[in-house]
Amino acid sequence: MFLRHCYLVVFCLLAFSFNAHSKTFKNAYIAFEMQDDWKCNLEQTEWVCRADDPQEAKEAVIILTAKEKGPTDNFTIYEQHLNSPIETFPRVGAKMISILKYNAQKSKINDHLWLDGLHQDSEVKNYFTRYMATTKDQIAILVTFSAHNKAYAKHSINFEKAIRTLRVVAAKDINKYMAGEKIRFGSERFGTDRYATDITNISADISRGPASESFNAKKTIALGVMVLAIALFLISRLMGKRNN
């Protein structure tokens, strides 16, 4: 019984350590949880989310965009697009052809169906980009999670948590709720003029990125040490009782 309580305490503390540093972002069509040291800004028709830390802001970015549902917005076309190499024409440099990392998969998240695909070098050179696409009523939504190759493992845990908390909140009369936000026209295709922000310049000086730690990461490590210390204390007490 005592050992069961030990496991329960450790589990609760671990859950606290993973949830204590997150916040909810919500706009007119989507909501999800992200790290509390990240923030999102509306840039033209896209929401761009980055870390406050300048170095981490170079390593990873989340971009949300939406459009009126058009003739190219269905899962069949999305799947065809994500299961093929993606051609990109950067503003600077030569044309890129992406590397498909895994075939697009349909995934139900919070009772809503999404298409999930992963490419390398599809948006920015030396970056992995995970695509999450869906439609609801009159709107189509694309969320991309990009991180430098050297930092993807570091950020993929937080990306996965954000994806698991995705909620589509778009209403049928979405234009009544946009409050200054803009969405693309239905005739446009996702991928047109993507990353209109300065993301194309973020790969500079990335080599030292994964070695750096944000304040939030340090707090998480400290919590992990605390959890381990408590677990060891409880186990030592248990072993002491057994010896007595």
Distance CA 161, CA 115 (A): 16
Report if residue 117 sits inside a domain: yes
pLDDT of residue 95: 87
Element (H, E) at 127: strand 127-136
Report if residue 173 sits inside a domain: yes
Report if residue 226 sits inside a domain: no
pLDDT of residue 115: 97
Bridge partners of 206, per DSSP, are: none
Distance CA 52, CA 203 (A): 17
Q: Which domain holds residue 29?
A: 25-213
This prediction has a pTM of 0.72
Average pLDDT score, the chain = 77
Report if residue 237 sits inside a domain: no
Q: What is the pLDDT of residues 111-162, one digit of tens each?
A: 999 999 999 999 889 999 999 999 998 899 999 999 999 999 999 999 999 9
Report if residue 228 sits inside a domain: no
Element (H, E) at 217: helix 215-243
- Look at the chain and report how many structural domains it folds into: 1
Report if residue 57 sits inside a domain: yes
Q: What is the CATH number of the domain that holds 37?
A: 3.40.1000.10
Out of 76-85, 125-134, 146-155, 200-209, which region has the weakest mean confidence (pLDDT)? 200-209
Q: Which residue, 62, 55, 63, 61, is CA-closest to 210?
A: 55
pLDDT of residue 21: 72
pLDDT of residue 215: 37
Report if residue 46 sits inside a domain: yes
Report if residue 220 sits inside a domain: no
Q: Which residue, 45, 5, 25, is CA-closest to 184?
A: 45
Q: Which residue, 216, 207, 221, is CA-closest to 58?
A: 207
Are 88 and 98 within 8 A, CB to CB?
yes
